[in-house]
Structure 1
Amino acid sequence: MDKPNLDDYLANLGISEGDDAPNVVEAALGSAAPLAEHQEPLEVFEQFMRGVVEHLGGDLTLSVRDAGEALEADIGGERASKLAGRDGRTLGAIEVLAYAVLAKHAGRSDVRVRVDAGGFKRRQADNLAKLAERLAVQVAKSGEPHELQPMPPAERRVIHVALKDHSLVTTESVGEGPGRHLVIRPRTEMTE
């Protein structure tokens, strides 16, 4: 089976070789009015995400909200789940771009953003929380810490939150950069 090449991938996104390389932010903003500097973060985020959805076309829907600790966008529609990309990498890339747009146009580099498509991240978070619970039981029974594979900060956070009030285990992130990973330890180990 042939591995899909970049041209095929871009064609699936509606971008052809003949297209000029667009400014990604301008392309995502689409026909929306240009962003003024220092707008409200939610306005900037919503305008950017509407441009992304408009650029992708089709039957996609968008809902944006301020969840307190982060600005969240949920993309729905028949093709939304395909937008997640491999292991959610496309969503991660959209989040990075949205963060950059917020820093430039809202003057805010402290705002977290989360973008989900077709419930991909919600399902991923549910699976991580279930994994955390299973590993907590295993660590509590064995009395031995369990080290997980390196994972992105958002995924580590899901596990930290899932186990933060657990009576028998605690969690800790260790390591640096891309090797940063999570360790689940028995609470008795912490008191010794």
Structure 2
Amino acid sequence: MDTERATQFRREVCTFVQDMVSALGLDLEAETRDHPDGLCVELNGDETEVLLRRKGEGLDALQQVVNSAYRRDLEEGHRIVVDACGFRQGKDNELRQMARFLMERAKTTGGPQEIGPLNSYSRRTVHLEVANDPDLSSESQGDGAAKRVIIALRRRQVSGE
């Protein structure tokens, strides 16, 4: 995506999110920033707690709607992250820290380690963290909202030398 198109896309997404939260009756300000996954829309204001109740379910729902609306416009492997007052960023950091702990434990014990249940966004965060270590692999298991991530030592191919 060229720079002009990217700037236009950011404005369009920001306006869409701003209109969504306004339609919900929330007085919040939306702004965009770069994110490792693609684009982040940060919401700030006195009413963010409405989106953060019940472990951020409102924020998750808003992010799902935004990604559904713009799925075809996103580059392969990218997504739009919707955050409110740094809530998701803090949760992502906690999740990555937990993943690193379980990665170390998998190496130490040699046995698989399990984390979850996690939503699709959180599972992806764990998978990306595990992908940084060539000795480990990760796999989602389970159905629907009960999906978990299994972190295990990568099976080595034995060469026929």
TM range (shorter): 0.7 to 0.9
**What is aligned with 2:5?**
none
Runs of 4+ in structure 1 over 6 Å off = none
Alpha-carbon contact 1:75-1:118 (below 8 Å) kept: yes
Look up the match of 1:140.
Answer: 107
Taking the aligned partners of 1:49 and 1:150, their CA distance within structure 2 comes to: 28
Larger-gyration structure (1/2): 1
| Structure 1 or 2: more strand by fraction | 2
Given that 2:62 and 2:82 are in contact with CA atoms closer than 8 Å, whether structure 1 keeps it comes out as yes
Q: Residue 61 of structure 2: which of 83, 87, 93 is its match?
A: 93
Give the structure 1 partner of residue 138 of structure 2.
Answer: 171
TM-score after normalising by structure 1? 0.63
Query: Which secondary structure does the structure 2 equivalent of 1:73 belong to?
Result: strand
Q: 1:121-148 CA deviation, whole Å, 9 max, x = no partner?
A: 1011000011011111211111111122
Deviation at 1:168, TM superposition (A): 4.0
C-alpha distance after superposition, 1:73-129 (max 9, x if no partner): 1012344344222122101111233234446xxxx3757321100111101100001
Contact persistence 1:44–1:101 (CA under 8 A): no
Partner of 2:97: 130
Please give the residue correspondences for 1:31-42 in structure 2 after superposition, counting only pairs within 5 Å: 41-42=9-10
Cα contact 1:81–1:120 (8 A) shared by 2: no
Give, in angstroms, the shift of residue 172 of structure 1: 1.8
Structure 2, unaligned runs of 5 or more: 1-7
SS in 1 for 2:62: helix
RMSD: 2.7
Against the structure 1 CA distance between its residues 57 and 145, is the aligned structure 2 distance closer, same or farther, given a 3 Å change threshold? Answer: closer
Aligned AA for 2:127?
A: H
Partner of 1:161: 128
Matches within 5 A, 1:35-114: 41-55=9-23, 56-58=25-27, 60-65=28-33, 67=35, 69-102=37-70, 108=72, 112-114=79-81
Structure 1 residues without counterparts, runs of 5 or longer: 1-39
Aligned 8 A contact 1:41 1:102 in 2: no
TM-score by length of 2: 0.73
Say how many residue pairs are matched.
146
Q: SS at the partner of 2:93?
A: helix
Q: Which residue is equivalent to 2:4?
A: none
Whole-Å Cα distance in 2 between the matches of residues 153 and 140 of structure 1? Answer: 25
Label 1:122 to 1:142 Cα distance change in 2 as closer, same or farther (>3 A).
same
Identity %: 24
